[in-house]
Amino acid sequence: MNREIYLKELIETKYGSVRRFAETISVPYTTIRSILERGVLNAKMDNIIHICKGLGITPEQLYDFNSSIITNINKAVIQLNDERKNNVYHYANDQLEEQNKVVQMPTTNTVEVYGAVSAGTGEYMVDNQPEEVDYSGTVPEHDFAVTVNGDSMTPLFDDKQIIFVKKAHEARSGQIVIADYDGQAYVKKFVHDNNGCRLVSLNKKYHDLPINEEHEMSLFGIVVL
């Protein structure tokens, strides 16, 4: 539903026809027809104010009509007498005050953490022995979770942060991976460019880990960001 159809429905709901509405608010019928055909946004503000006053709504409600709930409420309210409109207004304010008093508590989830991965010098992951820990953030779709040890991936990941991983055996250059490198588990950025393949730390005080025939490397998965 566009804005003009919504306006026409409001007029017909309260007055029965556009012509009767025009006569009631003393705005030429042709002017209102033009607004309905050419668009509310092209109309003079004086005419919009007269129209909204005749319907018992504000220009803001007319311009921002997209919510179907608000649309239905407006259609009902314009048919009420002044006393009942005031009742609706006071009820809405009461609901707003109650809503503002509600304190949303953070949701705590339990996740299974399969050991630690290094953001520094290397870690050994725990095989098939997950530890259940509380986690207050949003839990994305993942295959397993691990804890970061160290600061080589700051500012993206902090020390002791829980991260989530989707299992994978291949990665694209630029993705953050969990990798087994010479028997130890790391979280690093995988880079493959003209200078070869390597595991890169975001904290530049750490050296890159080259991927070549001198080192064994396999992937556990891709970090879900």
Question: Which tens digit of pLDDT belongs to each residue from 79-103?
Answer: 788 888 888 888 888 887 887 776 6
Interval 136-150 mean pLDDT: 89
As a whole number of angstroms, the distance between CA 88 and CA 86 comes to 5
**pLDDT (tens digit per residue) in 1-13:** 577 888 888 898 8
Interval 124-130 mean pLDDT: 61
pLDDT, averaged across the chain: 84
Residue 151 · residue 160 · CB < 8 Å: no
What letter would DSSP give residue 41?
G
pLDDT of 66 above 70: no
**Counting every residue, how long is the chain?**
225
**What pLDDT score was predicted for residue 194?**
92
Interval 113-138 mean pLDDT: 72
Interval 170-197 mean pLDDT: 92
Joined tokens for residue 183: 């028997």
SS3 138: coil
**% of the chain surpassing 70 pLDDT:** 88
**What pLDDT score was predicted for residue 1?**
56
**What pLDDT score was predicted for residue 142?**
92
**What pLDDT score was predicted for residue 20?**
93
